[in-house]
Amino acid sequence: MTEAAGDLEQYRAEAREWLAAVDAPKSTEDYLEHLRGLRNWHRALYEGGWVGIQWPKRFGGQGLTIRHKLIFEEELGRARLPQPSTSIGLDVVGPTILRYGTDAQRERFIPPLLAGDELWGQGFSEPDAGSDLASLRTRAVRDGDELVISGQKIWTSWASDADWCAVLARTDPSLERHRGISYLLVEMDSPGLTVRPIIHMNGDAEFNEIFFDDVRIPVDNVLGNFEEGWKLAMDTLGHERSTFVLRRAVENRASFMDIVDGLRDYLDGVSAEADVAAHLGRVYVELRTMEAQTRATARRVGAGDVPTALDSVDKLSLSETEQSVYELAVECLGSERMVVGGRTKGLDADRWTPGLMYARSASVYGGTSQIQKSIIAERALGLPKGR
């Protein structure tokens, strides 16, 4: 299948038809059960040929293009269906293995990653290394054909359900900061590795701490060269930003239309309070701007022009837009917003208030908005290094 307009439209029609017929994962209050449901959902999508759309066929992908992937994302959002399991493997670690892995690593890790048989986490941040990631202290010491890891990671998304984790660790302590870091692939059930979930204020246990107490991994599980980890990680973050933005923008549009649908019965077109209408219009316009931005991004990604400082522009815009969508709903909920099971104006507090709490983290995770702005200032605008 090519990128010709007719072929793309046919692809969209096929996706829509498949999504209309498939059994959607059931929603559940229990977080672990929810994750298990997503794992099954991932496998269903994979068997349908909807995972790894733009990935090479020989590793289990579909060998299509980023435009096909974007079309599927749009249809998935339109059908209000969730993403395949957790996104770290597909969006972040997988592309890095594909780009920097040896053939043996690619053959070992990519097919089960795409199939949803092995889920991935990403252990970058540490208690004392957040925005200043290069100051990380987790160490990996060589012992024959093995590396012995000791230290602690934090804010690792979905680690409690992950099978593998990409870990940044210091392999040469004599080198300063980012120069001494390697990119390691660690199995989560390794002896000496413990995971402790951190409960988010919205009740989810998405984040975790990981403790490494002399965890042994084979040296074959170093991705890229020793002490090259920083380069791989930065490249990965660029990918994370651009593909994440494409998907999330679609989801935000779907959420916004749910708000509009909810409000529609409460407000009829003519008597809608002017300030509510203007607020809706304002967020709609933000989403339209984001949509235009993502089209430019899709062209950029399609042309291989990633990562660039524009990824930071996208990340910054996306977090603001996402927060605007949830703020709109919570504003409309009024005092009902804080009541469990609360409902007014066609909107459910249980969805939108925890959603806003989660959205607040959008301007922190994956590099804070302030860090994004520093990147834009230095790399896009050419300003001197800030202080």
Partner 1 sequence: MSTAVSEEFQQAAEELLSGTVRQEEIRAELAEGFSASLWGRVMETGWTEVLVPEDFGGLGLGLAELGPILKVAGRHLVPGPLIEHATVLPLLATAGLDLEDERLDELRRGTRKLAVAGLGESVDKLPRLTDGTLSGTAMNVRYGDLADDLLVFCSDEQGLLAALIPTDRDAVAVAQRRSLDPIASTADINFPGTAVAPSELLSDAAARTLGDRAIALQRLLVSCELSGIAERSLEMAVSYAKEREQFGRPIGAFQAVQQLLAQAAKQSHGIDCLCRESLAAADRSESSIGHIAIVTKAGVAAPSREVVECSLQVHGGIAFTIEHEMHGYYTHALSLEALHGTTRELTKELGHGLIGGSSSWPEW
Q: Give the binding site for partner 1 (CB under 8 A).
A: 78, 253-254, 257, 260-261, 263-264, 267-270, 272, 274, 276-282, 284-286, 288-293, 295-296, 310, 313, 316-317, 370, 372-374, 376-378, 380-387
Alpha helix locations (H) across the chain? 5-21, 31-47, 66-78, 94-100, 103-115, 229-266, 274-302, 309-333, 349-360, 369-375
Closest C-alpha among 122, 127, 192 to residue 154:
127
Peptide bond into 307 cis (omega under 30): yes
Whole-number minimum distance, CB 80 to partner 1, in Å?
11
How far are the Cα atoms of 73, 134, 207, 316 from residue 312, in angstroms, in the given order? 21, 18, 23, 6
Give bridge partners of residue 379 from the DSSP assignment. Answer: none
Nearer Cβ to partner 1 (28/370) = 370
Whole-number minimum distance, CB 328 to partner 1, in Å?
10
**Which of 126, 206, 227, 240 is an active site residue?**
240
Residues in the chain: 387
Nearer Cβ to partner 1 (339/383) = 383
Nearer Cβ to partner 1 (153/248) = 248
Whole-number minimum distance, CB 103 to partner 1, in Å?
39
Tell me how many helices (H) and strands (E) the chain has. 10, 10
**Is 240 in the active site?**
yes
Q: Which residues fall within 8 angstroms of residue 302, CB to CB, at 6 or more apart?
A: 65, 66, 67
Whole-number minimum distance, CB 373 to partner 1, in Å?
4
Nearer Cβ to partner 1 (269/304) = 269
Nearer Cβ to partner 1 (97/280) = 280
Give the integer Cα–Cα distance in Å for 150 and 140: 7
Whole-number minimum distance, CB 78 to partner 1, in Å?
7
Which of the residues are catalytic? 240
